[in-house]
Structure 1
Amino acid sequence: MTGEASSLAPAAPPVPAARRPWWLVMLRAPLARQSMYELAYVVTGLPLAAAAFCYAFGALMFGTALLITSLGLPILAAGLAGCRVLGHLERGRARVLLGLRVGEPEPVRTQRRSDSLMSWMGALLRSGVSWRHLLYALLFLPWAVFGGGIGVATWCAGWLMFTLPVWEWMSPGEYVHLPPLQAGSNGLTSVSASQDGVVLEPGFTLTLVSALGLVTILLTPWLIRGLVQVDKLLVSGLLGPSRLAVRVSQLETDRGVVVDTAAADLRRIERNLHDGAQARLVSLAMELGLAKEKLLDDPEPDPQAVAAVIDGAHGEVKLVLQELRDLARGIHPAILTDRGLGPALSALAARCTLPVSVTVELEQRPVAAIEGIAYFTVSELLQNISKHSGARCGSVEIWRSEQRLLIQVTDDGKGGARVEDGSGLAGLADRLQAVDGLLALRSPVGGPTTVTAELPWR
């Protein structure tokens, strides 16, 4: 089942990536590219955090103190503008070093155009995004000092302990100071006995410290990775678009989809009327005119010829009525309005080119708009089954789960369907998304194909 014939080409199954053993992941972590990038993010964050804190704190303090004068608001506005520039830089740094892609927040929107500077200042001061950027600049420093200090100190301590035998070899006696040995050899023995008790030997001490350093090196990347998660939360939560802005953007996109769909439906109705019913009505008018001429111009009209013309006109009337019924059914079927989804889908399945079973388990009817969307969703999916799937039978199931209406259409065809840009399934997914709906497709090569649509109940 697909929206386009071109999407019937079988897709190669994804090759699962081989999982590396955990010990290999641990050994490679200190020198992995991601670990280097995360360490670079932590290290470069310390000076940037200090500069951002000084700037934001100074602008906030001076601007607040000078609010009784005419300089307070401009200083606050300039501080907020600078914090927005800082946010842009931080989003770029997180994108390059952490792979975190945070969308740009909503821009400053002025309300008046007559006084651009004052309007811009007012928009900055009213913008919640600007104040969130200021809050980030103030919180950035303490977290950078805490997280960055722990990460960098642990990293440096690990490498220092791990390479301690090298430093001791280069400068003997300067790094390890132990009591003089009383017994034992000069090898890497663990202890030596003496009259004063048991003392550690230098070889064992260096080995122990180096081993602890190696363990620290292997664990430090995971420590830094955990600390960086907090940075990701700060950047995405304070420097990204707000939930309201994201929702407004989604609604604007959905509105565009709805407008485009309505315009496409109007063009389809106009084309069907022009190419179907209108053309047949013109033919009907011509045949009735021809019958009129035969009756008026011929003093002795042939009854059979006139009857044949009238019979042809009668046939055209039947065809016009059938096309108008089909067109009305395509706009909104009367059976759906009168009897609901169950009978409407049963009638729809009866017109399908293959046997389709329909199961509707609804105790009550959803609102008319959702009911109509569900009907036309099933209609389009059944058309795809008939045209592209090569199936022998299909099934339609509809049920309610809490506040969602679920639709599942299954066929036993050859599968391999994909939701691609420009395909019928992609357009259907966009139309469902416009009403907070979802479309899920499972279609392995060889079948079966299952399409699940989810719609809000109201």
Structure 2
Amino acid sequence: MITTVGAQVASRRDDDPAPLLGPGELLKGPFTGRALRQQGYLLGSFGVAFFQVLWMTVALTVGGPLVLVFIGLPLLLAAVAGLRRASRKERQRILNLTGEHVPTPYREPGPTGNVLQRLLGHVSDPATWRDLVHLLVSATLGAGWFTVVVTTWTMILGGLSLPFWYTALPHHRIPLMHVNGSEYYISTLPAVVTFAAIAVVFAWFVGPTLLELGTRTQTGLGRALLGLSRPELDRREAALRTTRSQAVSAAEAERRRIERDLHDGAQQRLVALAMDLGRAKSKLKTGDEADSAAAAQLVAEAHEGVKLALSELRDLARGIHPAVLTDRGLDAALSALAGRSPIPVEVDAALPWRPSPEVESAAYFVASEALANMAKHAHATRAWIDLDVRDGRLRMSIGDNGVGGAEAQPGGGLAGLSDRIAPLDGILSVSSPIGGPTQIIMEMPCPKPSAS
């Protein structure tokens, strides 16, 4: 029997919209760092969209008629894959410009299999069609924003240089318009300077406003079409509520376990220790030799009780967060855990980097509880733990050669393990057919730490 418990947690979006455009920004014109970044974003978005539309047009035109003979499939796959790459670049540009992360909406990061399977994987994903709509709209609007950027710089640079080169025009004049057969133009230097000044001032003050409008339109379009759809947002919101409840339940279960272990173990031994020391004190007060011998025996028993209580407290602390986990990491902590197990346990850990403390603690808890359950119920003669990182996810497999039959039931131990890792976007899978073997697979995100 195979059961999978746990939930994927929605990725967070850091809402950091661009600041409002104030009068101070307008007075600085299109030469501020903000305006230059906006111009680079608009030109880059249009350039990528234009060339992607051109490439997809060629690929679809050539590859479409050749689909029946399978020669066109690689071209169609390249076109669709290129569409996804263009959308990924647009999300990165939005992040670089506004600081806002647009979450990836795809069902799977990259479809696998042969060419046809990968093509169908792309085409069957609704996010691919939203990418296509965004590409077409972005290319259309981008042409307008490209014109705005070019016109702004043309008016400013042309206006500033116009008095120096207008004499090279035919008849040394600048034609303005024709009305009822009459031509209106300017040809004197004062008129040319005035005309150039008006063009520069107009572009200087209107340019930033148009750039702001274009940037907000393009980034809004990207957030709407390249991010998560409303059903996906609702699903992830429900997943967040579930994992939040699971986190609270896991914390409450952990608190009750600690209280129970303290009450049933160390607390009872300390109470017995206090009673033994009280009796020894009473016997020592009498001064009788027999009572002194009995008091010595009670003190010896109390000494043994203290050692047992300390051992139980160490075991309890080890079950919460052992010192070796903090000092030497998850692989060393799992090796120490295997050394204390009554079942021989083989540990194979290959970690290219050290996970975050939260991931280490959750993985150690899963391994500790799984080995404890195996020792109690599996009747196994050996167990194993395999630990590695694949595609940015920590994967731990715990298995034994016991009788099997483990189930992830609500309120049970395996469900508790799932609740422990669910807030970290973890998934727990249990395979335990009757007769064995049992295998528990845990996966959690484990991003590589930054160099800083």
TM-score when normalising by structure 2: 0.46
TM-score (norm 1): 0.45
